[in-house]
Amino acid sequence: MKFSMIKTLAGKHQSSVRKIMRKYFHDGHFQIQYQSNDKTRTIQLYDSGFKKQPIFLNKAKPKNSRELTNRLLNNRCEWCGLEHHSVSSHQVRKLSELTGNNIWEDKMLQMNRKTLILCPHCHKLLHANLLS
């Protein structure tokens, strides 16, 4: 990392690594001297590389991460509105696959969802292309 930075600087200043080292490395630190209020100050720009960042395993979940689960647990068909103990989800891979030629595709596009929770009867009709 350190050598890469020096090489980049040398390239940008059209200089050599050796000259950059001589100019900016003092006491084993990469530092620059500058004038401020008639005083010569030194700022250290690079010390010992970049430390590894801690990995946070418990990332915040997206807001609607349980939205589909909740829709399924409602046990309500999103087409006919009836409650049924075994609803299932009809799904498409991408919203762009939906043409909007069917009423149920229109509904999915309006909901902006790739899934539609259906009772077994409605699901059967959908696959038979008879859902209306």
Footprint of Zn ion on this chain (CB under 5 A)? Answer: 77, 79-80, 119, 122
Residue (42 or 91) nearer to Zn ion, CB: 91
The minimum distance between CB 131 and Zn ion, in angstroms, equals 9
Residue (30 or 78) nearer to Zn ion, CB: 78
End-to-end CA distance of the chain: 64
Query: What's 57's DSSP letter?
Result: S
Q: What is the number of residues in the chain? A: 132
The minimum distance between CB 109 and Zn ion, in angstroms, equals 19
The minimum distance between CB 55 and Zn ion, in angstroms, equals 45
Residue (20 or 77) nearer to Zn ion, CB: 77
3-state secondary structure of 91: strand
> Which one, of 34, 37, 119, lies nearest residue 72 by Cα?
119
Residue 42 and residue 32 in contact, taking contact as beta carbons nearer than 8 Å: yes
The minimum distance between CB 71 and Zn ion, in angstroms, equals 13
Q: Mark out the alpha helices in 41-82 (DSSP H runs).
A: 67-73
The minimum distance between CB 67 and Zn ion, in angstroms, equals 20
Residue (47 or 106) nearer to Zn ion, CB: 106
Q: How many CA atoms lie within 13 A of 43 on its CB side?
A: 5
Residue 117 and residue 111 in contact, taking contact as beta carbons nearer than 8 Å: no
Residue (77 or 108) nearer to Zn ion, CB: 77
